[in-house]
Structure 1
Amino acid sequence: MIQLDEIPNLKEISDSEAEGLCARLRARIIDAVSRTGGHLASNLGTVEITVALHRVFDTGRDRVVFDVGHQCYSHKILTGRDTAMDTLRTFGGIAGYPKPQESQDDAFIAGHASNSVSVALGMARARSQRGEDYHVIALIGDGALTGGLAYEGLSNAGLSGEPLLVILNDNGMSITKNVGGVAQHLAHQRLKPQYLQFKKGYRKMMSVLPGGPQIYRVTHKIKTAIKETLLPCSMFEDMGFIYLGPVDGHDVRGLTRLMRYAKELKGPVLLHVRTVKGKGYPPAEKNPDAYHGVSRFCVQTGEPLQPSRPSFSSAFGQAVCELAAEDGRICAVTAAMRDGTGLGSFEAQFPERFFDVGIAEGHAVAMAAGMAKQGSLPIFAVYSSFLQRGYDMLLHDVAILGLHVVFGVDRAGLVGEDGETHHGLFDVAYLSSVPGMTLFAPASFAEVRSMLRHAVRKVSGPVALRYPRGGESGYRGDAGVEPTVCLKVGKAITLVTYGITTGSVLEAGAMLEAAGYAPEIIKLNRLMPLDDEEILASVKKTERVLIAEECAAMGGMGQQIAAHMAAQGVVPKAMALCNTGSGFITHGTTAELRRLCGLDAESLYQAAVEVLKRE
């Protein structure tokens, strides 16, 4: 186990000491993530940026807003959480993302992309409104610039005049125009220490001389006009930012100097930094995508300690490929999650029908609507928590016209170690609210294939399949595509479930049988539109019901079924709704979180026994 010695006062260390600290941070991150899993390549790429930030700013008072936030490990180590890194992303341990409840140094929650500039501008405006004195910094990656929200924030921030520093971490995508050798030479010159020192001194002198501010404004306009003749403005300057860069993101000396300079400027500043994702660890540098999010691995070889297993995502991707081979209208859409959603094989087989739109879920939904309107058959594979960002387009662009867009809602339910920002607990509620939506819940790989085929070929209008992260859990059957199916006939209590919870309910049912009860188990294949006939008939017989589902209580199937029973005058003697509750769920393994929420087999058995004992 590697741990850092006592963290030095970063305001006092020399440049060479800062470089040494960066090397130690990399070793610490590699060691910790190899044992806990987590986001590796992105953290290795931002070490120097983070050290420079801490040398220049006070994160306990100044507000540093991370975009996405999965690159915050160095920040956590430097703010007193080095020892806690051994608990990273584990139940009861520290989160893999910034979390204000965890530390005052974490300015804001982060987990979804493209919002950092908007949040930072809000903080800067609150600072000005309240007459307070602190600095606000947004750290955003070039990948997040594929999201439209980033441009909304940048456009407003540039025109605001608010003192604000935006650090653009560019680790692959070209952002600025290719303006040739003269432009690059001028960019290099204007970032030299001598130039920055002269500019700082000139501004200070002009601010105190009689008539100095007016002279400065005139000379600044002349300088700007000359510069724009030779060096076309970046889009950031057009937005109103003072633009610095591009600069080497692994030069901690230069970054520190530039951040100190930016700190003194009175207005919005954008510092463009170029980095290498996975810096300092050869396997991650060579293949940064594969080392973006990793499970536990061997540091020496870079190989995972546990081989990957088949997953719902891979089953979905394979099923899409099979259908695409039969129907040339089928296209696959992803929002920067090709491999995460199992679409790598589709891209290889049908590159002309594969569309990765970047981190732009709203655009993906609207684009899919346009494709469907003109005769294509788009399948959009997207994480449940990310589809939330496309809800308006789902309602307005897809549902009003009843367009046949198929949604593969991946990571539905509890996702584990990524925690609150990534659990897919709200899709049942928000998808159920969409008029004309058909919603399936496969519980096995076989059901993914059969339900997807049915959704593509037999359903009209918007249709979605929700399925969990990872592999099958206790149930590997194929109940077909009928709305509901009775998995076990009984008379003591009705157990209703769907999706990944099916395995736990079957296990709880076996425990009830062993205790002398005869449960009836009803599985929902289709959640919307809800077919309640078999459920109502069962509850009339047993007079007791337990509904188990891995989603939030509000708007879940438990509430909807309870409402249907009340409307039909079916009033059970006792009822229990087992779900993830009304709050946000922390991070941990899915097994730990299911126990926490009372959705493991033992908890469901105990809940059923309580229902059976009620008069």
Structure 2
Amino acid sequence: MSDTPVNPLPLLSTIDSPADVRRLSRSQLPQLADEVRSHVLDSVSKTGGHLSSNLGTVELTIALHYVYDTPRDRLVWDVGHQTYPHKILTGRRDAMSTLRQQGGISGFPRRDESEYDTFGTAHSSTSISAAHGMAMAARIKGESRRAVAIIGDGAMTAGMAFEALNNAGVAHGGLLGDVLVILNDNDMSISPPVGALNKYFTRLMSGKFYAAAREGAKSVLKHTPLYEFARRFEEHTKGMFVPGTIFEEFGFNYVGPIDGHDLDSLIPTLENLRDKKGPQFLHVVTRKGQGYKLAEADPVKYHGPTPFNPAEGIKPATTPPKKTFTQVFGDWLCDMAEADPKLVGITPAMREGSGMVEFHKRFPTRYYDVGIAEQHAVTFAAGLACEGLKPVVAIYSTFLQRGYDQLIHDVALQNLPVLFALDRAGLVGADGATHAGNYDIAFTRCIPNMSVLTPSDENECRRALYTGHLHNGPVTVRYPRGAGVGEPIAKEMVALPWGKGEMRRHSAQPQTHGDGAPRIAILAFGTLLYPALKAAEALDASVANMRFAKPLDTELVAELARTHDALVTIEDGCIMGGAGSAVMESLQAQGFSLPVLQLGLPDLYVEHGEPGKLMSQIGLDAAGIERSVRQRFLNVAEVRAVANK
């Protein structure tokens, strides 16, 4: 008996690039699909990440790399969390053990990670625009290559996708781009009775014979009374089999739907479409979690799991974890809805992520999931507010960026009472720079009529949400991903004093203006209050919990400026234009001149990794705060000289 271990991935272990895939026989591809699926499951169970969506795109990924000459032909994956099979087949098989880990590969496509990642995607609905741009660039440059956009049915709900379809389906200067849009539809199924006929009809429609016959018939009938009848008959006949009329109206040749797990259907259909000119549209149907029964049964639960045992599945925690800020929001939303019948909850396709499951269950007529349509979500809320309702938009900080024009023109300009609950403020860990909520303080506080609340812990978050709900104008309440310090949460609704911070620690150090260490005050915005308090113990600094980035507590700023030699501002948002900048503006306006150290997220994209380690590396943990303060104010004489001006 041999002691040589059995290779669990004998075929996949020979694949280092798509060129290796293209050397395989068609009969080997089902085995490759099984091994890729196994590797995805094994990898994600160890690192955590997106599972259901990637199990559903295995065959489609293999077929695309088998048919198209990648990377010469461009593949653009929408959202990007469905690209693990793509990464595995493009030289990153062994790097999957580092997925979403600091220093490892990203959970999304990145141009600087691989030549096969032709476009960075992590926010949805951008693929058609990008692929259209690539296809037109090929025409302009005289290059013969194809561009393919793979977009999910959820991402097709966004207006940007239809803007791109509208543009890609018409000629520009007589040129049409050779772009294929693949709709990866994983929210429906093809019923068995029509499966065989559907496959045959799809292959017929994608083939040269059908295209030639259709164009020939059109030319013959063009100037006869039968032309309009034939055109309508074709549309309605196809409509009996496919829901593609709308895409045909955009100027695309629609094909589908076909089974996205059937390589014998996918490959010849893609081969036919690859050789056709102009804009093409292929509708494939896949199943989230395909091949892993637990994920098939509950794709939402297995959408983005933390590490787990694949044989046992995701198990409930043995000890109750600390309540997350998302859960705090969800609880408050239900309590507030119980008390205020005018409250309406809105989410752009993030019911689970934003903590609205219970609200949906208890208040179904006041719950609106608008799909991946952030612009619509904001203006829809504005319309509700115009009629006297009190809309609450639960949205990730990074996604509010997509509704910025609507935030300014439709909500703030009209001073409408819309509350924005901004989840995932600050760094988000494994999802990395594309999902980090770094900019919301800077881009909201500059808008007239907007108010910006930065609660420091769970109980203060509940109070901030209540305060924002009572305010007669637009408000953002920002809070991070995950749990806070575990502050007990009072059931009673108690508003915060509007626009007022609070002192949490007073320095015992006298204001020097002479010999000795300078007296320092730390102005903390948000959850960084707690590492600031820890650092302040070592520094003997005063600490203010500012609570509001706008309206800023200018009286508290002035008091701290009068009684301290130097100030330090701390926030988990970008330094440029953030809360620290608000403090600097206030000091200047009030005529104060003293040293100020601004701490926050640096002017660079912080990569994916464990949040605590990332915060430590950029100096926003207690040790980093203490170190930065000591380094900045080491020269006491310099500090004192400025303070004495």
1:309-335 C-alpha deviation (Å, 9 max, x unpaired): 420000011011111111111111111
How far apart are the structure 2 equivalents of 1:538 and 1:592?
Answer: 32
Evaluate the alpha carbon distance shift between residue 70 and residue 369 of structure 1 in structure 2; reply closer, same or farther with a 3 A threshold: same
Q: Look up the match of 2:300.
A: 289
Tell me by how many angstroms 1:569 deviates: 2.3
Q: Look up the match of 2:381.
A: 368
- Select 1:7's aligned residue among 4, 15, 19: 15
How far apart are the structure 1 equivalents of 2:141 and 2:206?
Answer: 35
Evaluate the alpha carbon distance shift between residue 128 and residue 549 of structure 1 in structure 2; reply closer, same or farther with a 3 A threshold: same
Write out aligned runs for 1:74-113 (5 A): 74-113=85-124
Q: Look up the match of 1:460.
A: 472
Write out aligned runs for 1:152-163 (5 A): 152-160=163-171, 161-163=176-178
The answer to whether structure 1 residue 495 and structure 2 residue 508 are counterparts is: no
- Select 2:75's aligned residue among 37, 44, 64: 64
SS at 1:331 equivalent? strand
SS at 1:348 equivalent? helix
Q: Look up the match of 1:298.
A: 309
The answer to whether structure 1 residue 139 and structure 2 residue 150 are counterparts is: yes
Contact (CA 8 Å) 1:332, 1:380: kept in 2 or not? yes
Contact (CA 8 Å) 2:45, 2:310: kept in 1 or not? yes
Evaluate the alpha carbon distance shift between residue 185 and residue 283 of structure 1 in structure 2; reply closer, same or farther with a 3 A threshold: closer
Evaluate the alpha carbon distance shift between residue 543 and residue 446 of structure 1 in structure 2; reply closer, same or farther with a 3 A threshold: same
Q: Look up the match of 1:218.
A: 220
Contact (CA 8 Å) 1:237, 1:243: kept in 2 or not? yes
1:395-426 C-alpha deviation (Å, 9 max, x unpaired): 11111211111110110101110011100001
Tell me by how many angstroms 1:511 deviates: 2.6
1:175-196 C-alpha deviation (Å, 9 max, x unpaired): x9x9xx99x8875443246983
How far apart are the structure 2 equivalents of 1:556 and 1:198?
Answer: 61
Q: Look up the match of 2:502.
A: 485
For 2:62, the aligned partner's letter is V
Contact (CA 8 Å) 1:532, 1:564: kept in 2 or not? yes
The answer to whether structure 1 residue 527 and structure 2 residue 549 are counterparts is: yes
The answer to whether structure 1 residue 505 and structure 2 residue 532 are counterparts is: yes
SS at 2:572 equivalent? coil
How far apart are the structure 1 equivalents of 2:230 and 2:138?
Answer: 32
- Select 1:248's aligned residue among 255, 259, 263: 259
How far apart are the structure 1 equivalents of 2:522 and 2:188?
Answer: 51
Evaluate the alpha carbon distance shift between residue 305 and residue 314 of structure 1 in structure 2; reply closer, same or farther with a 3 A threshold: closer
Tell me by how many angstroms 1:477 deviates: 8.7
TM-score normalised by L of structure 1: 0.92
The answer to whether structure 1 residue 469 and structure 2 residue 481 are counterparts is: yes
Tell me by how many angstroms 1:154 deviates: 1.1
Contact (CA 8 Å) 1:297, 1:305: kept in 2 or not? no
SS at 1:607 equivalent? helix
For 1:274, the aligned partner's letter is V
Q: Look up the match of 1:231.
A: 238
How far apart are the structure 2 equivalents of 1:477 and 1:411?
Answer: 20
Evaluate the alpha carbon distance shift between residue 194 and residue 539 of structure 1 in structure 2; reply closer, same or farther with a 3 A threshold: closer
For 2:346, the aligned partner's letter is V
Q: Which blocks of at least 5 consecutive residues in structure 2 are unaligned?
A: 1-6, 510-518, 639-645
Residue-pair matches, total:
595
SS at 1:494 equivalent? strand
Contact (CA 8 Å) 2:288, 2:296: kept in 1 or not? yes
The answer to whether structure 1 residue 120 and structure 2 residue 131 are counterparts is: yes
Q: Look up the match of 2:27.
A: 16
Evaluate the alpha carbon distance shift between residue 219 and residue 53 of structure 1 in structure 2; reply closer, same or farther with a 3 A threshold: farther
Write out aligned runs for 1:255-274 (5 A): 255-274=266-285
For 2:183, the aligned partner's letter is L
Contact (CA 8 Å) 1:296, 1:304: kept in 2 or not? no
Evaluate the alpha carbon distance shift between residue 72 and residue 188 of structure 1 in structure 2; reply closer, same or farther with a 3 A threshold: closer
How far apart are the structure 2 equivalents of 1:480 and 1:524?
Answer: 15
1:552-607 C-alpha deviation (Å, 9 max, x unpaired): 122111122112212222122x3321111112111111112112221111111101
1:412-462 C-alpha deviation (Å, 9 max, x unpaired): 1011100111000010011112211111111111112111112212x1110
SS at 2:202 equivalent? coil
For 2:24, the aligned partner's letter is I
How far apart are the structure 1 equivalents of 2:103 and 2:327?
Answer: 30
Q: Look up the match of 2:602.
A: 581
For 2:220, the aligned partner's letter is V
Contact (CA 8 Å) 2:348, 2:372: kept in 1 or not? yes
Tell me by how many angstroms 1:165 deviates: 0.5
How far apart are the structure 2 equivalents of 1:248 and 1:261?
Answer: 16
Evaluate the alpha carbon distance shift between residue 190 and residue 337 of structure 1 in structure 2; reply closer, same or farther with a 3 A threshold: same
SS at 1:167 equivalent? strand
Q: Look up the match of 2:560.
A: 538
How far apart are the structure 1 equivalents of 2:238 and 2:133?
Answer: 32
1:188-226 C-alpha deviation (Å, 9 max, x unpaired): 4432469836447x58xx9xxxxxx97874379797554
Q: State the identity %.
A: 39
The answer to whether structure 1 residue 325 and structure 2 residue 367 are counterparts is: no
How far apart are the structure 2 equivalents of 1:186 and 1:31?
Answer: 36
Tell me by how many angstroms 1:480 deviates: 6.7
For 2:506, the aligned partner's letter is V
Q: Which blocks of at least 5 consecutive residues in structure 1 are unaligned?
A: 207-212, 513-517
Q: Look up the match of 1:209.
A: none
For 1:324, the aligned partner's letter is A
How far apart are the structure 1 equivalents of 2:465 and 2:205?
Answer: 63
The answer to whether structure 1 residue 47 and structure 2 residue 61 are counterparts is: no
Tell me by how many angstroms 1:95 deviates: 0.2
The answer to whether structure 1 residue 394 and structure 2 residue 413 are counterparts is: no
How far apart are the structure 1 equivalents of 2:476 and 2:333?
Answer: 13
For 1:602, the aligned partner's letter is A
Q: Look up the match of 1:515.
A: none
When the two chains are superposed, the root-mean-square deviation of aligned CA atoms in Å is: 2.5
SS at 1:381 equivalent? strand
Q: Look up the match of 1:600.
A: 621
Write out aligned runs for 1:544-563 (5 A): 544-563=566-585
Write out aligned runs for 1:124-203 (5 A): 124-160=135-171, 161-172=176-187, 187-192=198-203, 196=207, 198-199=209-210
How far apart are the structure 1 equivalents of 2:182 and 2:248?
Answer: 14
Q: Look up the match of 1:415.
A: 428
Q: Look up the match of 1:570.
A: 592
SS at 1:10 equivalent? helix
Most deviating of 591-600 and 78-87: 591-600
SS at 1:549 equivalent? strand
Evaluate the alpha carbon distance shift between residue 541 and residue 2 of structure 1 in structure 2; reply closer, same or farther with a 3 A threshold: farther
How far apart are the structure 2 equivalents of 1:484 and 1:84?
Answer: 47
Contact (CA 8 Å) 2:59, 2:263: kept in 1 or not? yes
TM-score normalised by L of structure 2: 0.88
Evaluate the alpha carbon distance shift between residue 533 and residue 475 of structure 1 in structure 2; reply closer, same or farther with a 3 A threshold: farther
For 2:155, the aligned partner's letter is A
SS at 2:256 equivalent? strand
How far apart are the structure 1 equivalents of 2:534 and 2:418?
Answer: 36
